[in-house]
Amino acid sequence: MSISESGIRIACGAKQQEIKGKWKKRHMVSRQSGISRKCQYQCSVCSKDSKTQRSRQTMSYSVALPTISPIKCTTQLPLIPAKSRVVKFPELCKDGVLFTQLQVREIAKSQSRPCRLGLEEEDEYCSRMEFGSAFLADSYDRCRRICAEIPADDGGAQESNMGDLRRTDELVDGPNAKHTTADVLDRWEERLEDIFSGRPFDMLDAALAHTLQKFPLDIKPFRDMIEGMRMDTRKFRYLNFEELYLYCYCVAGTVGLMSVPVMGMGAHSLASLQRIYNAALNLGIANQLTNILRDVGEDAERGRVYLPQEELAQFGLCDDDVLSRKVVSADERWKEFMKAQIRRARFYFNEAEEGASQLDKASRWPVWSSLMLYRQILDEIENNGFDNLTRRAYVSRGKKLLMLPLAYTRSATANISN
């Protein structure tokens, strides 16, 4: 997978796939989308688009090449025998492969710069930007109302971040999602660049522009977030966990990365900055994986399957089983498949724990609470007998309330380590 310096735009289409056939030696085909029934492929040699048909266990390709007439060939999807159903995943982020590609190290470094605005420069900044402090207070207040559920004690900075993200998310998840085209997202990205260059467009932008003066936020996670929205408009299937991980990074891991400088590190934290950033990324990934597992049925209704296609096949399942929602939780294949997916999400939550305890005191409890609360959704999926196709797992108010003091205890007993 290759990732461009400016972002990850080429990553989603860069999965190289060698197609069997007589032209194999000359042509490599790169996957452009994860749509399983009709995929667009583009030849990396001649750049011509082609259509691909894919059925349950067999993929058949019909590729139009400039010199050779369309060729059909078949590739068997490897089916792992029932006894050796082992889904591999955690090493993806443990050995740092993706961290390097996602430039987490660089982001951590750039977000450790001293901030531009001290308290005394605040008035000067407001007059330079031609908005008074009352205007800014109103801007932050609006952000706060957009994301009323986010607890923080940072003068609204986290809300201005979240307000921006919520608006970005609404573009693809909100009532006007069907009007969100590639052009709309391009304009949204231009607007983001403007905010980072100190040219906010509206009141909510103004709050983020101000936050950028107070916290050394890097633009990359914000850009990558928009890239995640692009994926959501054009990609409805994920071939394997690597592809899904990239999506989770874009739509949720980025949130973790941009939260760290605002939340701040504990005064006595000895953990390396890198480990804290890794933990923040892992929490975003864990949350998103949980979200996906909770919403399998709802997503299927919208024609979306966020479960890795190759892993479904490994358990003898396929896309249609999910879309038709016919596979029932009593089905052993589904149960085993879900167990493996839940195990993976828990792995990422566990990896995030240590970092959560290294945050500044004010952020520790809210982060621990959200971690434990979201992780409980996984327990609820289990309690529902793994039926996430016709039921939506939720954590009752009582359980949430019981969890809060537990989260407090965990957050208070911070583990100091290098």
Ligand X SMILES: CC(C)=CCC/C(C)=C/CC/C(C)=C/CC/C(C)=C/COP(=O)(O)OP(=O)(O)O
* Residue 359 within binding range of ligand X, rule CB under 6 A: yes
Question: Any idea what DSSP says for residue 85?
Answer: -
d(CA 310, CA 40): 18
Question: Any idea what DSSP says for residue 68?
Answer: S
Q: Could you tell me if 264 and 347 are in contact, meaning their C-beta atoms sit under 8 angstroms apart?
A: no
Closest Cα to residue 145, out of 78, 207, 56? 207
Nearer Cβ to ligand X (255/305): 255
* Of positions 288, 369, 376, 388, contacts ligand X by CB under 6 A: 288
Closest separation in Å from C-beta 366 to ligand X: 8
Q: Kindly report the number of other CB atoms within 10 A of residue 156's CB atom.
A: 23
* Of positions 367, 377, 378, 407, contacts ligand X by CB under 6 A: 367
* Residue 104 within binding range of ligand X, rule CB under 6 A: no
Nearer Cβ to ligand X (27/364): 364
* Residue 221 within binding range of ligand X, rule CB under 6 A: no
* Residue 287 within binding range of ligand X, rule CB under 6 A: yes
Closest Cα to residue 411, out of 370, 377, 351, 376? 370
Closest separation in Å from C-beta 276 to ligand X: 5
Closest separation in Å from C-beta 238 to ligand X: 16
Amino acid identity of 372?
A: M
CB burial of residue 159 (10 Å; 0-12, 13-18, 19+): buried
Nearer Cβ to ligand X (169/387): 169
Contacts with ligand X: how many residues (CB under 6 A)? Answer: 19
What pairing do the DSSP bridges indicate for beta strands 71-76 and 29-31? unpaired
How is residue 253 written in tokens? 């891991």
* Of positions 266, 347, 355, 388, contacts ligand X by CB under 6 A: 355
User: Of 26-34, 118-126, 282-290, 334-342, which part binds ligand X (CB under 6 A)?
Assistant: 282-290
Nearer Cβ to ligand X (171/352): 352
d(CA 282, CA 257): 10
Closest separation in Å from C-beta 70 to ligand X: 41
Is the Cα torsion angle 54, 55, 58, 63 positive or negative in sign? negative
* Of positions 7, 200, 261, 284, contacts ligand X by CB under 6 A: 284
* Residue 252 within binding range of ligand X, rule CB under 6 A: yes
- In this structure, what are the phi and psi dihedrals at residue 192, rounded to the nearest 5 degrees? -60, -45
Nearer Cβ to ligand X (336/351): 351
* Of positions 185, 204, 255, 342, contacts ligand X by CB under 6 A: 255
* Residue 211 within binding range of ligand X, rule CB under 6 A: no
Nearer Cβ to ligand X (312/377): 377
Closest separation in Å from C-beta 297 to ligand X: 13
The single residue listed with the structure tokens 């999910």 is: 322
* Of positions 111, 259, 269, 369, contacts ligand X by CB under 6 A: 259
Q: Could you tell me if 377 and 278 are in contact, meaning their C-beta atoms sit under 8 angstroms apart?
A: no
Residues 144-183 that bind ligand X (CB under 6 A): 169
Nearer Cβ to ligand X (63/143): 143
d(CA 313, CA 317): 5
User: Of 48-56, 198-206, 250-258, 343-351, which part binds ligand X (CB under 6 A)?
Assistant: 250-258
Is the Cα torsion angle 310, 314, 316, 322 positive or negative in sign? negative
Q: Kindly report the number of other CB atoms within 10 A of residue 198's CB atom.
A: 13
d(CA 401, CA 320): 39
User: Of 27-35, 74-82, 174-182, 279-287, which part binds ligand X (CB under 6 A)?
Assistant: 279-287
Report the interface residues with ligand X, using CB under 6 A. Answer: 169, 252, 255-256, 259-260, 276, 279-280, 283-284, 287-288, 291, 352, 355-356, 359, 367
